[in-house]
Structure 1
Amino acid sequence: MAEVLGPGEWLGSELRGDDSWRIRLTEAHRREVLAAVHAAGREVSRESFRLPTLGPVLRRVRDELTHGRGFVLLQGVPVEGLSERQCETVALGLASHVGGIVPQGPEGAPVMHVRDTGADPSHARTKSYQHSGRLGYHSDPTDVVALLCVRPAKSGGLSAVVSSVAVHNEVVRTRPDLAEVLYEPWWHDRRTGDGPDSFYTKPICAARPGGGVSIAYGPDYLRSAQRGATVPPFTRAQEEAMSLLDDLTNDARFTLTMDLRPGDLQFLNNHVTLHSRTAYEDHPEPSRRRHLLRLWLTT
């Protein structure tokens, strides 16, 4: 087992006073986005969503995601006064300048609405975006995940990010025996039902072509996979490895917390970051409840 060096390794404690991961849209950028929204048709793409001055900024976002720290927070995206459909267009248009849109869910939707539907977190088919409970640190199954905040919760719902590369290197340094376990196959749960198709195996850590490491972790979905009839129970080494990962990802040295506000668009590289969310309480009025738009991207 070897440490992975590069800009993808960072500590949250070192970035809390550093705003270099934030990009604030100018008024000219905002006007450009709104003009693109009103000109867009039903099919939104990089070509149809023209951003002459903001486009180069979003290309730099892509570079930072793929070759830098692996996360960026874009702030000042215009969402106030827009309809839900227009907010979808904004999210799709901006994201299309960063990567290709990956369909989500059984219906292959380009945008997923993240809000509390009252779903039971313990239910086999409940997905993490359908409830208001706390989420363990995890990665999504595509190159990049983007989250556009339309409305925050009444309280809670804070987003937190860690460098999974930094966590990986800490495990390699302190427990190389457990680092080896992370490169072995683990059972994961798709939460598509109770049949065998819902369960599959892949390592938590895998070497990337050309160097580096890709970390695919999600303790909630790993633990729910234990309900599978053919899924073996965790070994003692696996339980110890998960405990160590959970301790490190919740360690203040590694975590960087973001309180997403309306117009904040968060981009995360799923290969080199893990993200979480605190539990939240919503407003009683449906029109004021927490609402985020999620997009999956390939780079």
Structure 2
Amino acid sequence: MTVTGACHPADWQGERMAHDDGWHRILTDVHRAELLAAADAVQRAGTPLAELRPDVFPLPTLGPLLTRLAADVTSGSGVGLLRGVPVAGLADRRCEILAAGLACHVGDIVPQLSQRVPLVHVRDEGADPARSTTRSHQHRQRLGFHADPTDVVALLCVRPARSGGLSTIVSAVAVHNEIVRTRPDLAEVLYRPWWYDRRTGDGPESFYQQPVYTRDDAGGLRSHYGPDYIRSAQRSPHVPPLSPAQVEAMTVLDQLTNSPRFVLTMDLRPGDMQFLDNRVVLHSRTAYEDDPDPALRRDLIRLWLRTDRGERTTT
């Protein structure tokens, strides 16, 4: 097969994005008051987070801003950052309502994990990354650049780590096009099936195949890269060893996704909420150290969103 470059507004490099604040949105006092009032109403009514929709969580003045942010994320650069969410001093449940209420204006909330929960807290639970059921949100080690399995991933920062834990992202489109330009032989390898690990245990259902890159019916690019889960799949006796071409393709991918030329780093602070389009943006996290005080430890709330109604969801 012959792989061609992809034309997409998410074809950007880190330095340019770092000097462009067009993907930032800052909440005003009016927005924050409106958001807290909507959260109060949801908490009083006891509405489940999975049932939050724009009509259930109305934001008359903030809603249009979120609609524009959603358009930028899903049809533009693939990146959006909301600043000023009023999380200071709030209990976990209140922060969860704020996160889900904001997210539902960007897309439909998708259940996560085998428990099908509407959100997860990204916290260091002391889990061993080598265990067959440990997921990336449960430990504090560095993560490889990857795409989550839904259209959009949202992260609300409640508290950052004492040190480290930086959010780093790259354009999957820019990386793809660079490989097409410089190593077209490896670009073809990325469109063939690869084995991945769901990390749901040791049974065969934990392992599945899909290409690193695919194109939709309209020719749009979608990335499925996840080096940690590709390498983890090698633990299965039913998964063949990575071929020399796959090893080389991963080496090139990892070099590009970690290159300062492509990487954009965000030091998320309390009240920052990041939105990424998994189809065209890969994300990672640096290793981190937490405060000894449990009340001061890193906590981010993650939601998965579907922006195309009727699309199959993945847990």
**5 Å matches for 1:97-246?**
97-246=105-254
Deviation readout 1:28-79 (Å, 9 max, x if unpaired): 1111101111111323322111100010111111111111000101000111
Q: Which of 75, 97, 111 is the aligned partner of 1:67?
A: 75
Residue 86 of structure 1 aligns to a residue whose secondary structure is helix
SS at match of 2:116: coil
Aligned residues of 1:45 and 1:92 also touching (Cα < 8 A): no
1:92 aligns with 2:92: no
Which residue matches 1:11?
A: 13
Of 10-19 and 162-171, more deviation after overlay is shown by 10-19
Please tell me the root mean square deviation across aligned C-alpha atoms, in Å: 0.7
Supply the distance in 2 between the matched residues of 1:13 and 1:238 (Cα, whole angstroms).
Answer: 29
Runs (5+) with no aligned partner, structure 1: none
- Which has the higher mean CA deviation after the structures are superposed, 13-22 or 136-145? 13-22
Comparing 228-237 with 10-19, greater Cα deviation is found at: 10-19
How far is the alpha carbon of 1:177 from its aligned partner?
A: 0.3
1:178/1:237 contact within 8 Å kept: yes
* Equivalent position SS for 1:9: coil
Query: Unpaired runs of 5+ in structure 2?
Result: 308-315
User: What is the CA–CA distance in structure 1 between the aligned matches of 2:236 and 2:203, rounded to whole Å?
Assistant: 8
Letter paired with 1:17: H
Deviation per residue, 1:206-238 (Å, 9 max, x gap)? 012212210100100000000111100000000
- Find the counterpart in structure 2 of residue 274 from structure 1: 282
Q: Matched residues in 2 for 1:106 and 1:143: separation?
A: 19
**Alignment-mate amino acid for residue 25 of structure 1:** L
Paired residues of 2:221 and 2:279 also in contact (CA < 8 A): yes
Report the counterpart of residue 34 of structure 2 in structure 1: 32
State the secondary structure of the residue aligned to 2:73.
helix
Give distance in 1, aligned partners of 2:89 and 2:268. 18
Structure 2: which amino acid aligns with 1:252? P
1:139-168 deviations in Å (ceiling 9; x for gaps): 000000000000000000000110000000
Q: C-alpha distance in 1, partners of 2:180/2:290?
A: 40
Confirm or deny: 8 A CA contact 2:8 2:173 kept in the other structure. no
TM-score normalized with structure 1 length: 0.99
Please list the CA deviations of residues 70-115 of structure 1 after superposition, one character each: whole Å capped at 9, or x if unmatched.
0101000111121100101001100000000000011110010110
Distance across 2 between alignment mates of 1:51 and 1:59:
11
**Distance in 2 separating the partners of 1:45 and 1:28:** 21
Q: How many residues align?
A: 299
Partner Cα separation in structure 2 for residue 105 and residue 16 of structure 1: 33
Paired residue type of 2:98: V
- For 2:17 and 2:73, how far apart are their aligned partners in 1? 16
> Partners of 2:63 and 2:217 in 1: how far apart?
29
- Per the alignment, residue 312 of structure 2 pairs with none
- 1:2 pairs, out of 1, 4, 15, with 4
Distance 2:192 2:55 in 1: 42
Q: CA deviation at 1:291?
A: 0.3
Which letter does structure 1 place at the counterpart of 2:153?
A: V
Q: How far 1:19 moved relative to its partner? A: 1.1
Partner of 2:282, secondary structure, is: strand
